[in-house]
Chains A and B, each alone.
Chain A
């Protein structure tokens, strides 16, 4: 099987098909609609790998990465944006009393990366 991610990140490969999103709307939607156990699993695997991921990606130009590196970047960006419910020890990805996500309008930079 061909890998989606750069060599050295085989342990993250299983997340690539499901967690490589571009832009905030798709990432936020994934965060609030994913089973919390799956969000926690992603968290526990990604957190100890952040140093290696950043060290690898820092060697590439931010806005012009090869496809495999861009996928790893999108995976890491999706993680960075969706980690806080687990990071802050919430019981689930949604809090009561907040504005429904569907009513938030994203534009510009929120869609660009």
Chain B
């Protein structure tokens, strides 16, 4: 497998992205076949399944696949189709497309077939009544999975997946002891009436923050307000992926409860952290003193927001051309005491309100684009992650 495609293979982009084709079934089908079936996706973190027998189940609507991710007795992470090999029932039931827990094995309660943590078929009731049943060949069907820096990624295409390190294109180094020091503090999601691209667009740039989040994050622009020129973005490009660091306002003023809780516990979003001693080399690579957080937009459909003591991930899964599921998951450095837990609670409360703003806006983008009023959208340098993604998809669906 050679170097991954880059996007921007042609002349420098003018930031104009055609909207005429984006909501056609033909374009959508080509994107699923040529992009989604050839990409890696993040489903969770090692810290979500810390012990032998820890597991989660994640229903991925794009591939109509329910994925069981489990830590084995040997410590290895494995992923399986959450489908009983007997009659095809889901082995672990999900609610809101999710389940989690700790187990010694898994039993399908339709007829009682049970499986080991390594997916092997352990027990079949009335086994002698089956003709020619070879239990050793009837384990749960595996899904290709790899772990990178504590993140768990899966591949849903046919055949050999692209080599993960090559796919990450230089993004793989420098995250030691970062994601593994975090714990999951919240997951909230929405089934949205908009194309997936307008979903991930919202989480690939910081340009919208000052306007859309003016009520939930009013202090981000600082004392000069929204009229001040934006600071130059800090951009690193890794093949198809892009990392854009956002600048923090130097005169950020915390609201009273935020200030109290981020003093009694760790300082989490939206407060900027000035002590960067806990950061690994790959987060705030340039060690900019007034840094807010990095948005790492992973091709094609997810973003990882790397903050000083917190991480948020946003997965946008196409359902059909006009619908997607957006799953936001939030992590913070592990709580040492009640003070840390209360700081986490403040952060996740604010983030529900912030996310409701993003979710509300993306459905309105869909309505506007559906109306046919526009031929194209005109994007800024601050939105380079979008320009680049649309260009790369164009390249791939024409190949």
Q: Which residues of A contact B (CB under 8 A)?
A: 24, 27-28, 31, 43, 47, 50-51, 54, 57-58, 60, 62, 73, 76-77, 79-90, 95, 97-99, 101, 103-110, 113
Contact = CB atoms under 8 A, between A and B. Distances in A.
A50 B190 contact: no
Contacts of B95: 107
9 shortest A-B CB distances, which residue pairs?
Answer: A81-B349, A57-B338, A80-B345, A99-B359, A98-B356, A87-B255, A107-B98, A83-B257, A105-B96
A84 B216 contact: yes
B311 to A, nearest CB: 13
A94 to B, nearest CB: 9
A107 B96 contact: yes
26 contacts: A24-B188, A24-B348, A28-B349, A31-B349, A43-B257, A47-B260, A51-B260, A54-B264, A54-B338, A62-B335, A80-B345, A81-B346, A82-B349, A83-B257, A84-B257, A85-B353, A86-B257, A87-B255, A95-B353, A97-B360, A98-B353, A104-B190, A105-B190, A107-B96, A107-B98, A109-B186
Given A50-B257, A101-B356, A76 B342 contact: yes
Contact of B356 (A83, A86, A99): A99
A73 B340 CA distance: 12
A105 B189 contact: yes
Nearest to B343: A80
A108 B69 CA distance: 15
Contacts of B18: none
Contact of B349 (A62, A84, A103): A84
A101 to B, nearest CB: 7
Interface string B319-352: 0000000000100000101110111011011101
B215 A90 contact: yes
Interface string B349-390: 110110111011101100000000000000000000000000
A99 B355 CA distance: 8
A95 B357 contact: yes
Given A43-B257, A57-B339, A113-B341, 15 more contacts: A50-B257, A50-B260, A57-B338, A62-B335, A81-B346, A81-B352, A83-B349, A84-B353, A86-B257, A98-B353, A104-B352, A104-B355, A105-B188, A107-B187, A108-B184
B352 A24 contact: yes
B338 A80 contact: no
B256 interface: yes
B357 A47 contact: no
Q: Is the interface on chain B under 10, 10 to 19, 20 to 34, or 35 or more residues? A: 35 or more
Contacts of A107: 95-98, 187-189
Query: By CB atoms of chain A within 10 A, which of B100, B183, B187 has the most?
Result: B187
A58 B338 contact: yes
A50 B353 contact: no
Contacts of B265: 54
B266 to A, nearest CB: 13
Contacts of A28: 349, 352
Contacts of A85: 353
A60 B337 CA distance: 8
